[in-house]
Chain A
């Protein structure tokens, strides 16, 4: 795959078109899929503005509005956030093995979320919104940010990032966060315990409209800021000195990127727990399609990430139907072998 990329830059129109078509197909399928039978036609109609819709039976309308659509939208936005954060993180570490899950950032974020749930759990009945959109994402973000900074400082020197150090730091931090998470279980009451169990494998079952709003706002803000810095991230891939010689304020850029990826991971973890490997796989697929330039890679990753998590969630909903499996199991089943494949490919160069 090194010799060429699948698409040339001038094929962007085809790329945008196929992205939209694939997203549409996936959304329609996702709404139609589940224990209650909803036809593809009903699903397509539910996506139209109200004056064009066919009348749906009330119970189907309810299931679509309350369950299927929220879950679909959450999958899309969380997948997209994880994918662009993975892309940025790989650029920041100048290494294509970086991923929020693998280097322990998700673990740190989920510890933050767990602390918030246990600390503020008693307030949940009085102020559910404050907890869902306030304390949990905030603590989750702080956990993610602290972890990223630690891993970055452990793994990076002026010569770039040492993969070994980065991965080992991730192992250490994941273990530490896992212990903290275990500790939180003992302080948690029943409700909090149920919430905590969600964090360990990652699930989109808790989708609600407030959470969806939060994740889409996060996605839009992150995308705009990352996109503006796309060229600078390209330059950073040359090395920090080289980026500095190109007039880029490297320290400032790095801080900004670390902070924003932590925001992205924090928000996704607070909404759907630890969903691994999306941030690892998607940038690779994106680079195979259109090459490593961030101006194209970021939007392409965003779309692939949304698609990948949505399809994974559809699998999670169907393989053990009528039960509902955490989507993190599916992404790990796809992602972990992919990670091993990347390790084998880089075997000679790891140091």
Chain B
């Protein structure tokens, strides 16, 4: 399996709090990986290291250092931002866009890094709206949408952004299901899974262990700056792992029909 993201010896510290402590992680193409862990254990920070949003520097109250960070086999800092944007998309936790764009206009923003004609762009945007199920909202003003609708609009935007990335695709989702009802939680994860099956590396930060267990190919549990478990759902979702990390006594049982582990 092709390795598309790898980071070695990542240390991230805010003040005295070490969020990531010499972490090594790599992610493969064609896999849906879920990053799990209690609040404040560096899950989202992990994504921010990959997107190079956090500055690589060291001072008294902040430190980010790593031996290397490669994306598609090339050092991350060598990528031109505009080129990388075609292959690396991020679905944010929430967006505070207050200007009265229409839904279609918001999704069109995803085409900014692409060198496509207006005609091609409209085709892509329409296809992605259909895929995510927001076609009927195309002309609605974005600020009027519910939280869940907004999230789906941004998913369509990010899918538009990645539409010409070919086989080089990474999609990062930061707690994408938090604002969604159960139907769309599953819809978003099914879309993420499809994208992974078509060859993309999909990484999802998520709190819901059962959703992660159902859809992810691989689970990584972070706790106190370290990776405490990494493997298939069956390997990671064990009574021992989960009880230890979440300090809560739980029961694990297999899903009665599909067999993946459930946390009770």
Chain A residues with CB under 8 Å of B143's CB are 2
Category for how many chain B residues contact A? 20 to 34
A contact face: mostly helix, strand, loop, or mixed = loop
Q: Is A246 touching B100 in the complex (CB atoms < 8 A)? A: no
Asked if B67 is at the interface (CB within 8 A of a chain A CB), the reply is no
Interface string of A209-252 (1 = CB under 8 A from B): 00000000000000000000001101101110110111111000
Q: Is A94 an interface residue when CB atoms closer than 8 A count as contact?
A: yes
Closest A residue to B94 using CB positions = A239
Contact among B84, B96, B112, B161 for A239, CB-based, below 8 A: B96
Q: Are B90 and A3 in contact (CB under 8 A)?
A: no
| Residues of B close to A244: CB separation below 8 A | 51, 53, 81
B88 at the interface (CB under 8 A from A): yes
Interface of B: prevailing SS: mixed
Which residues of B in the span 161-180 have a Cβ within 8 Å of any Cβ on A? 161
CB < 8 Å neighbour of B112 from A1, A247, A291, A292: A247
B164 shortest CB reach to chain A, Å: 12
Cβ proximity bits B86-119 to A, threshold 8 Å, 1 near / 0 not: 1011101001111111100110011011000000
Contacts A2-B100, A291-B100 given; does A246 touch B109 at CB 8 Å? yes
B83 interfacial contact with A, CB 8 Å: yes
Inter-chain CA distance A1–B100, complex, in Å, is: 9
Q: Is A178 an interface residue (CB 8 A)?
A: no
Q: How many residues of A contact B (CB 8 A)?
A: 30
Q: Establish whether residues B81 and A291, one from each chain, have CB atoms under 8 Å apart when the complex forms.
A: no
- The reply to whether B141 and A3 form a contact with Cβ atoms under 8 Å apart is yes
- Establish whether residues A2 and B83, one from each chain, have CB atoms under 8 Å apart when the complex forms: no
| B144 within 8 A of partner (CB) | yes
* 27 A/B residue pairs, CB under 8 Å, sorted by A: A1-B100, A2-B141, A2-B143, A3-B141, A94-B96, A96-B99, A232-B112, A234-B101, A234-B109, A237-B99, A237-B101, A238-B95, A238-B97, A239-B96, A241-B51, A241-B53, A241-B90, A244-B81, A245-B85, A246-B161, A247-B81, A287-B99, A287-B100, A291-B101, A292-B100, A292-B105, A293-B105
* Residues of B participating in the A interface, judged by any CB pair closer than 8 Å: 51, 53, 80-86, 88-90, 92, 95-102, 105-106, 109-110, 112-113, 141, 143-144, 161
Interface, chain A (partner B; CB < 8 A)? 1-5, 94-96, 159-160, 231-232, 234-235, 237-239, 241-242, 244-249, 287, 291-293, 349
